[in-house]
Structure 1
Amino acid sequence: MKTLRALAPLSALLAGVFSHSALANDIPSAPRVDASGYILMDAASGQIMVEHNIHEPLPPASLTKIMTDYIAAREIANDNLALDDMVTISVKAWRMGGSRMFVKEGSQVKVEDLLRGIAIQSGNDAAVAIAEHIAGSEEAFAEMMNQQANRLGMKNSFFANATGWPDERQVSSAYDMAVLGRALIQNYPENYALYKEKSFSYNGIDQTNRNLLLWRDPSVDGMKTGHTEAAGYSLVASAQRDSMRLIAVVMGAKSEQARARETQTLLNYGFRFYESYEAYDAGETLTTTRVWMGTDAKVALGLDEKLAMVIPRGSHDSLDAQMTVNDHVRAPIEQGQQLGTLVIRSGEQVLLEKPLVALTAVEEAGLFKRLWHHVLLFFHNLF
């Protein structure tokens, strides 16, 4: 492997996930939150800034409905469901207890209204109605939920129903819920927008959103509360200030006020002591390397996704970036094929490794050129 110094200023080559303590010598320690599990994540990069018991399986209560909404949003995007579709309310949906939208058995309700009932009113009846409409039964819908959790990398989650109704099998984690919330924000922003609405009236009943932070912090625009006796009080919240969006998850707080207070503590910490940084776009050329036995003499290398991260404020000068590129790169080369690595360090500590990939394909050269390059490589390796 040959090592290349970064071609751009070091302060411009930043990305990825790093240990909170690595660059945080000049900022206060992360706050301790009174909850069973909690996390603060950067929405752009997935970088974790604060964590405690983030992979512990816990009862998710109504946080479950974020997954229900995610699947509905996916079905809409795939043209399998429309906002103006009418859903017939079953006896099971109508009889659901707990928080409800108050739909009537046998009535027909628009998908759009049910989605508001899920996001704003946390309606168990609305969640069951959507689940049955999409999958035929809530049990079949739960299978869809678990398949989607697996695709998103939610390794400590299992869904037995669409509502979060108590079931000893149903668990999730602070990390998994942050991953799910991030996916909804990035993939289906039109559905996420429902979570900032403060109230929704249906069937003559007006109900307010249970997320108290919508009234306390103008930068908060979602997402979902949850509560059962076993789960305690939980909240997934997201906020954006300037160009930085953060996601905070608190699970197992002691009261409605406590979950709002502790979540606000996490968000304030992240915005106060960290800043967002975007380095390169996906597909931007970072370096080039020679190609042996190919139709092209060189191939451009870059990254297959945008480099974005948050860093402790004022920490740019402590970062160093290097690229390593494979020796003797030979055609054929596929676009997206990894041919090296970008490494970000702070001192001797490696903070991040990202694959350097070929930005274009290179076909194999003709026989004569390949034979000539074999000869050149032979003598090159001798010396």
Structure 2
Amino acid sequence: MSVSSRFAPRLAAALALPAVALALVGALTAPRPAAAQQAQGFQTSVPAAALIDFETGTILYEKDADKRFAPGTLVKVMTADVVFSQLKAGKIALDTPFIVSVNAWKRGGGPSGGAAMFAEVNKPAPVGELLAGALVVSGNDAAIALAEGVANTESEFSQMMNAEAKAIGMANSEFHNATGFADPGQVSTARDLGLLAAHIIRTYPTYYPVFARPNIEWSRIKQRNRNVLLDAGIGADGLQVGWVKDVGYHALGSAVQNGQRLIVATLGAKSEKERLEETRKLLEWGFQSFRQRQIFTADQEIGRAQVFGGTQGSVGLVAKGAVSILTPRSGNERITAKVVYTGPLRAPVAKGTEVGRMQVTRGQVKALEIPLYTAEDVPVGSLTDRALDGGMTLMGDGVRDLFKKVLAKVGK
């Protein structure tokens, strides 16, 4: 290999954007303003909302999706997520009995005057029924009993909730209890709740159906499922609705029509009627207005990341499988994408290492974000390779600009 042919690709990698964001795609389709306006012309009266396609993760609609709200009883969906993880790990089972403590009974049961499963104090109840109590009728006694059964105290359980939220990517959420009781530090967003719903449906398909259980009966008291979306004729099959004083009526739901699943979160509606109508309208619009398009094939190189000290100066980045996005049926809309990574990566780099993310924007909406992985191994390079990389780093941007002018000649 000649010096020039060896040096050219390393120089090209050094001239790439080094560490912050690498622009990837200018426009996958030609912009058509009228079509874009029509696609984004949908409006909802609720203060905040997010509509997500489950299969692709595409954000179809958002309105103040990152605005923080007191989530109220929707917190119980996160409570369920933590319990589901314990079930899946084999640490507990659906028939594991948890004792309903005086605390759970007094603060969340019959004496509290709020939503309750009416579990008997100091008596055992199986995890499966406590889950139904918390999710079907929003029983606060059931939620507290689950938290205490898993983690001894509700405070310790909330730490598990926050760790799980972080792992899911719920960047704007914080949980302080298992019930949704008022707490100034307990917040979430429409986007985060949508991420949570998608995570539960994908990760715990065995346990997800409990959300759609039509009723429960405990202590000889029979109660119907409080989720009004289930009977709205829109294909809804789970999650929860709630109300927060001085905030409004919330809904977190998922529905399936013609094999497509959408997830919706609406926060802060002024009434139960508005919550139902706006959530239904949002879902119906989503099912009718979009089609799926593949934008990258499986194993297609999406971008490259700079590598320091390796046998080569950069490495290709790929997604796991094909990448698809939903676009408006009414016409093409401008789609842009960028790769974001922290670099340069330091050799050795192993194939399949997650090193960055691709962010896809449809019009003004951040429609999709997916992890990217290295496409090949990059071993540690020779002393010459490392010296070249070190030299390029020391020379800085001024010399880089100079090299841009001669780069084409270097490889000849």
2: distance between equivalents of 1:69 and 1:99?
17
| 1:115 equivalent in structure 2 | 131
- Alignment-mate amino acid for residue 64 of structure 1: V
Change (3 A) 1:381 1:339: farther
Residue 206 of structure 2 aligns to a residue in which SS? helix
Give the structure 2 partner of residue 255 of structure 1: 271
Cα shift at 1:139: 1.5
Deviations 1:115-166 (A, max 9, x none): 1111111110100000000010112112222222222232332222110112
- Return the alpha-carbon distance in structure 2 between the equivalents of residues 148 and 279 of structure 1: 31
* Counterpart residue number, 1:208: 224
Matches within 5 A, 1:112-261: 112-261=128-277
Q: What amino acid is aligned across from residue 223 of structure 1 in structure 2?
A: L
Equivalent residue letter for 2:277: R
Q: Partner amino acid for 1:48?
A: I
Q: Distance in 1 between matches of 2:228 and 2:90?
A: 34
Alignment of 1:81-120 (within 5 A): 81-95=92-106, 96=108, 97=112, 98-120=114-136
> Do the aligned partners of residues 212 and 330 (structure 1) sit closer, same or farther apart at CA in structure 2, a change above 3 Å counting?
closer
Q: Are residues 280 and 114 of structure 1, via their aligned partners in 2, closer, same or farther at CA, if it must alter by over 3 Å?
A: farther
| Displacement of 1:335 | 0.5
Match of 1:78 in 2: 89
In structure 1, C-alpha distance between the alignment counterparts of 2:292 and 2:56, rounded to whole Å: 10
- Alpha-carbon distance change, 276 to 200 in structure 1, aligned in 2, over 3 angstroms: farther
Specify which of 44, 48, 69 is matched with residue 55 of structure 2: 44
Match of residue 398 from structure 2: none
Asked if 1:270 corresponds to 2:286, the answer is: yes
TM-score with structure 1 length normalisation? Answer: 0.77
Q: What is the alpha-carbon distance in structure 1 between the residues aligned to residue 367 and residue 216 of structure 2? A: 45
Is contact 2:249-2:267 (8 Å) kept? yes
Q: How far did 1:58 drift? A: 1.5
For 2:188 and 2:303, the matched residues in 1 are separated by 44
Structure 2: where are the runs of 5+ without partners? 1-11, 17-23, 340-344, 390-405
Instruction: Give yes or no for contact 1:55–1:175 (8 Å, CA) kept in 2.
Output: yes
Q: Which runs of 5+ in 1 are unaligned?
A: 12-18, 324-328
Taking the aligned partners of 1:93 and 1:169, their CA distance within structure 2 comes to 21
**How many pairs are equivalent?**
362
Shift of 1:201: 2.0
Give distance in 2, aligned partners of 1:353 and 1:57: 21
Distance 1:288 1:159 in 2: 37
Cα 1:239–1:136 shift into 2, 3 Å: same
Secondary structure, aligned partner of 1:73: helix
- 1:27-54 deviation line (CA, Å, top 9, x unaligned): 4602222x33222222234332222222
Q: What's the offset of the Cα at 1:198?
A: 2.1
The whole-number CA distance in structure 2 between the counterparts of 1:59 and 1:166 is: 8
Letter matched to residue 60 of structure 1: P
Counterparts of 2:61 and 2:185 in 1: how far apart (Å)?
A: 28
Once the two structures are superposed, what CA deviation does each residue of 1:325-349 show, in whole Å capped at 9, x if it has no partner?
A: xxxx9985421358999897989x9
Identity of aligned residues (%): 32
Q: Secondary structure at the match of 1:207?
A: strand
Is 1:68 the equivalent of 2:76? no
Q: Distance in 2 between matches of 1:99 and 1:279?
A: 47
- Match in the other structure for 1:24: 36
- Residue identity in the other structure for 2:139: G
1:212 to partner: Cα distance: 1.4
Structure 2 SS opposite 1:189: coil
> Structure 1 residues 199, 270: closer, same or farther in 2, change over 3 A?
same
> What displacement does 1:226 show?
1.1
Tell me, in whole angstroms, the C-alpha distance in 2 between the residues paired with 1:353 and 1:123: 35
Alignment match, 2:7: none
Task: State the alpha-carbon separation in 2 of the partners of residues 350 and 181 from structure 1.
Answer: 19
- Distance in 2, matches of 1:187 and 1:172, equals 21
In structure 2, the partner of 1:310 is 326
Distance apart, 1:277 and its partner CA: 3.6
Question: Alpha-carbon deviation of 1:285?
Answer: 4.4
In the alignment, is the contact (CA less than 8 A) between 1:31 and 1:265 conserved in 2? no
Q: Give the TM-score, by structure 2 length.
A: 0.72
Instruction: Please tell me the root mean square deviation across aligned C-alpha atoms, in Å.
Output: 4.3
| CA 1:353–1:157: 2 relative to 1, 3 Å | closer
